Amino acid sequence: MREFFSSLLKPRVEALGLEIGSANLKLVELSGTPPTLRGLSIRPTPPGLFQEGNIADPQALANELREMLAEIRTRKRYVVTAVSNSAVITRTLQVPKMAAKQLEEAVRWEAERYIPFPIDEVVMDFAPLDPLDSVAEGEQMDVVVGAARQETVASLVETLKAASLEPLIIDVKPFAGLRVLEPQLVGDGGRELVTLYFEIGAESSALVLTRGERLLLNRVINLSGKDFTAAIAKAFNLDSTAAEEAKKNYGLATIPTEDEDLLLDFDAERERFNPARMYDAIRPVLVELTTELRRSLEFFRVQVGDLGIDQGFVAGGGSKLRSLVPLLADTLGIPLEVVDPWKNLSYDKSRFDPDYLRGLAPEFAVPVGLAMRGVGPID
């Protein structure tokens, strides 16, 4: 899948994978083929670094990134990163098949109808969803377009350079997350599987459907981990920090049975954060989230007809809410599992504890996907 914002491509070098999120900063170093894990770092994003999804304090963020580079002891300075889901607009357009130079102009003209900013104020790239030689002359072809405001990209680049990093590629987060699943997108006999990928981030979520590696649907959903945290804060009269901690320790997406209740191993705060009260607090968010997912899938079915989904994967820190993935699988009637970004990597188990990596798995789909791009062929 071709990457967006390819105007930032440099000569082929190995690059780090960096995800800059509103909740956490995550850095991954891979090397070689097949990729081997060389280093990783995760730390909370300090308060005040972002405002409405934009970098508010580039120098403070650059300082954090320099410390992470020192932590993993890497000399690499090229980096593959991504802009936030809310900062990117993606659309699938139809244009007639034409020569490459004409195609770029036609896509830009067509995209202007769908991008809510002046076209000369955005950084844009596109990729045909099917090989050009598979489309007959005069027929319509599907093209996916990605665009972000120039000021957003410029601010990100400025921050990276202040941290002594050189941006190699700026990607789109859910497409980066899908990269760790590429070997699983094709089934027995080479059959292209229909795959659902759902990333639940701190500020927003992304729903992607593919057939093999072909993009079918990409939608940003404005419900995320922060909505669960806000619901808990309101119900228990907590500040956001305490609510986030309560969510991690006591949050759950279903009312547990008696046996499950015992397995939760609640501490002295059990009476305050009992399962029934916690579930009641977040239930409205769960209902809204599952409704949005159903609506998105129904819209897709109306557009293309009923299409059976073969498999589904969930990623992002928000997916770590206890019982959430089984709840979504039951509600949507789709087999779902948590993404394992380490599955296709080699790593030294004396350096990287498998249990530690397993605990980080949902949160590292995107940074590992970015790092895989950093050691893969650049097209």
pLDDT tens for 22-44 read 899 999 999 998 899 999 999 99
- Check pLDDT > 80 for residue 134: no
- For residues 237 and 324, state if they share a domain: yes
pLDDT of residue 7: 46
pTM of the model: 0.90
pLDDT of residue 10: 45
- Check pLDDT > 80 for residue 288: yes
Vertex 368 angle, CA 126 and 307, to 5°: 55
Q: What is the CATH number of the domain that holds 317?
A: 3.30.420.40
Domain assignment present for 117: no
- For residues 231 and 309, state if they share a domain: yes
- For residues 209 and 170, state if they share a domain: no
Per-residue pLDDT tens digits for 153-198:
999 999 999 999 999 999 999 999 999 999 999 988 889 999 999 9
- For residues 60 and 191, state if they share a domain: no
pLDDT of residue 333: 92
Query: Could you give the CA distance from residue 61 to residue 77 in angstroms, rounded to a whole number?
Result: 16
- Check pLDDT > 80 for residue 232: yes
Domain assignment present for 238: yes
Q: How many domains does the chain have?
A: 2
- For residues 225 and 211, state if they share a domain: yes
b/e code 201-228 from CB counts within 10 Å (16+ = b): bbbbbbbbbbbbeebbbbbbbebbbbbb
Higher pLDDT, 197 or 85: 197
Give the mean pLDDT of 91-102.
84
Helix axes 240-250, 225-236, angle to 10 degrees: 100
Phi and psi at 138, nearest 5°, equal 90, -15
- For residues 163 and 254, state if they share a domain: no
- For residues 207 and 301, state if they share a domain: yes
**% pLDDT > 90, the chain:** 63
- For residues 318 and 283, state if they share a domain: yes
Give the mean pLDDT of 129-156.
86
Query: Could you give the CA distance from residue 164 to residue 77 in angstroms, rounded to a whole number?
Result: 7
- For residues 374 and 274, state if they share a domain: no
pLDDT of residue 117: 85
Residue 343 DSSP SS3? coil
Domain assignment present for 144: no
Domain assignment present for 225: yes
- For residues 15 and 164, state if they share a domain: yes
pLDDT of residue 268: 54
Please give the sequence-ordered ranges of beta strands (E in DSSP) within 173-260, or none if there are none.
194-200, 205-211, 214-221
Name the β-bridge partners of 148. 88, 123
- For residues 161 and 246, state if they share a domain: no
Domain assignment present for 137: no
Domain assignment present for 138: no
Domain that holds residue 291: 184-339
pLDDT of residue 267: 55
Domain assignment present for 56: yes
Average pLDDT over all residues of the chain: 88
Cβ-contact 87, 152 below 8 angstroms: yes
- For residues 195 and 269, state if they share a domain: yes
Res. 56 pLDDT band, cuts 50 70 90: confident
- Check pLDDT > 60 for residue 264: no
Higher pLDDT, 316 or 299: 316
Domain assignment present for 112: no
**% pLDDT > 70, the chain:** 91
